[in-house]
C-alpha cells in the first residue's frame, strides 16, 4: 500500500457510512466497513463482497462493529446505549462482536474496531474491571482470527486511554484515532492527544467538528473537512511525526443527505490529496 492512501467509511446495509458505489465513483482506493446486519454476514455475502472489492481494486482496511439500540442523540444517551459498557446488553453484544470478527476474517480483514462506550474514569469502580474483562475476551477472540482490535477514540482523554490499554494487558489492542470526536465530546486537544497516544494509533478517521459551548455536556457539531477546528495540515503533519502512514479514512455521517455526503467526501479527498503532496514531498 502506498503511503497515506485515501479511504472512506462505508456501509452496506447498517451504519452511517457511504455506499460502495460512491467509493467506486470517487476512485478511492481503501475503505473501512461498518459491519452489515446479521442476516448479511454470511459466507456467500462475504465472498461476493471480496470479489467486488477485487474487481474495483479497493482494499478493505477495517471492519467496525455497531449494535442495535445504540444512539448518539446526546452525550448521556451515548453513555447509556453505546458499545460494550452498558451491562444489560454486554453479553449479547460481545457474542455479536465475535460474529463480526469471524465475518471480518471471511473478508480477509485483520482489523476489527468499535466504539467501546464510556469507560469509567474511576479505575477503582467494578464497572472499570468489567469493561477490561469484556475487552480482553474480545481481544482474545480477535487474536484467534489473527486480528487486532482498534478502539475508536472520543469518549476518553488520551491519559485514560493509555491507562486502559496498559491495564488490559492485551497485545493486539490499538487505537483508531478520530480528531473530531475529541472536539465533539470535549475530551481534549486532538493534536496533543495524538502525540500522547501515537504509538497505539494504527488507523485514523479524517473528520472535522466545532466544539460545543458546553464541552462534555452537549455535543459539538460535525463539519465538512477543513471547516471545523481540526487543523488538517497539523493533523497530517503530526501523523507523519508519529510514523503513521496508513490509510486516511474520511468519515462523514450524513446518510440522510446522500448527494451532500458524496460531494463533501469528494472535497475532503481532494483536500487530503493536496496536503499529502505537500507533506510527503
- Cα distances (Å, whole numbers) of residue 204 to 19, 62, 126, 210, 278: 19, 10, 31, 19, 19
For Mg ion, which is the closer residue by CB, 96 or 178? 178
CB of 176 to Mg ion, least distance (A): 7
Measured in degrees and rounded to the nearest 5, phi and psi for residue 31 equal -150, 155
Applying CB under 5 A, which of residues 115, 202, 205, 276 lies at the interface with Mg ion?
205
Residue 156 interacting with Mg ion (CB under 5 A): no
Choices 17-25, 40-48, 234-242, 246-254 (CB under 5 A): range interacting with Mg ion: 246-254
CB of 235 to Mg ion, least distance (A): 13
CB of 98 to Mg ion, least distance (A): 23
Buried b (16+ CB within 10 A) or exposed e, 86-105: beebbeebbebbbebbbbbb
Applying CB under 5 A, which of residues 131, 164, 175, 178 lies at the interface with Mg ion?
178
For Mg ion, which is the closer residue by CB, 46 or 85? 85
How many residues make contact with Mg ion (CB under 5 A)? 3
CB of 1 to Mg ion, least distance (A): 20
3-state secondary structure of 102: helix
Q: 31: which 3 cell numbers?
A: 475503505
Q: How far apart are CA 202 and CA 230, in angstroms?
A: 19
Buried b (16+ CB within 10 A) or exposed e, 24-61: bebebbbbbbbbbeeeebeeebbeebeeebeebebbbb
Applying CB under 5 A, which of residues 251, 261, 275, 276 lies at the interface with Mg ion?
251
For Mg ion, which is the closer residue by CB, 107 or 114? 114
CB of 207 to Mg ion, least distance (A): 6
Q: How far apart are CA 100 and CA 138, in angstroms?
A: 11
Measured in degrees and rounded to the nearest 5, phi and psi for residue 103 equal -65, -40
Choices 34-42, 160-168, 186-194, 243-251 (CB under 5 A): range interacting with Mg ion: 243-251
Residue nearest to Mg ion (CB): 178
For Mg ion, which is the closer residue by CB, 96 or 251? 251
For Mg ion, which is the closer residue by CB, 202 or 205? 205
Cβ atoms of residues 28 and 6 within 8 Å: yes
Interface ranges with Mg ion (CB under 5 A): 178, 205, 251
Amino acid at each position: 500500500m502506498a503511503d497515506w492512501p485515501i479511504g472512506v467509511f462505508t456501509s452496506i446495509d447498517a451504519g452511517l457510512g457511504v455506499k460502495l458505489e460512491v467509493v467506486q465513483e470517487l476512485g478511492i482506493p481503501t475503505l473501512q466497513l461498518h459491519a452489515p446486519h446479521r442476516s448479511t454476514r454470511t459466507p456467500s455475502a462475504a465472498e461476493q463482497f471480496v470479489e467486488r472489492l477485487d474487481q474495483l481494486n479497493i482494499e478493505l482496511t477495517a471492519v467496525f462493529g455497531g449494535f442495535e439500540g445504540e444512539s448518539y442523540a446526546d452525550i448521556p444517551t451515548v453513555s447509556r446505549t453505546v458499545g460494550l459498557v452498558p451491562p444489560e446488553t454486554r453479553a449479547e453484544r460481545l457474542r455479536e462482536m465475535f460474529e463480526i470478527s469471524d465475518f471480518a476474517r471471511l473478508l480477509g480483514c485483520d482489523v476489527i474496531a468499535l466504539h467501546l462506550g464510556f469507560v469509567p474514569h474511576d479505575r477503582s469502580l467494578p464497572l472499570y474491571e468489567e469493561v477490561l474483562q469484556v475487552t480482553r475476551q474480545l481481544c482474545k477472540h480477535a487474536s484467534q482470527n489473527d486480528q487486532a482490535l482498534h478502539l475508536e477514540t472520543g469518549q476518553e482523554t488520551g491519559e485514560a486511554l493509555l491507562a486502559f490499554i496498559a491495564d488490559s494487558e492485551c497485545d493486539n489492542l490499538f487505537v483508531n484515532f478520530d480528531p473530531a470526536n475529541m472536539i465533539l465530546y470535549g475530551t481534549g486537544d486532538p493534536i496533543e492527544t495524538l502525540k500522547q497516544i501515537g504509538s497505539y494509533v494504527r488507523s485514523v478517521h479524517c473528520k472535522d467538528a466545532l466544539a460545543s459551548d458546553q464541552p462534555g455536556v452537549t455535543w459539538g457539531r460535525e463539519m465538512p473537512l477543513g471547516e471545523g477546528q481540526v487543523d488538517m495540515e497539523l493533523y497530517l503533519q503530526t501523523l507523519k511525526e508519529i510514523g503513521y502512514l496508513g490509510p486516511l479514512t474520511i468519515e462523514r455521517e450524513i446518510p440522510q443527505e446522500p448527494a451532500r455526503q458524496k460531494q463533501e467526501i469528494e472535497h475532503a479527498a481532494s483536500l487530503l490529496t493536496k496536503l499529502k503532496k505537500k507533506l510527503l514531498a
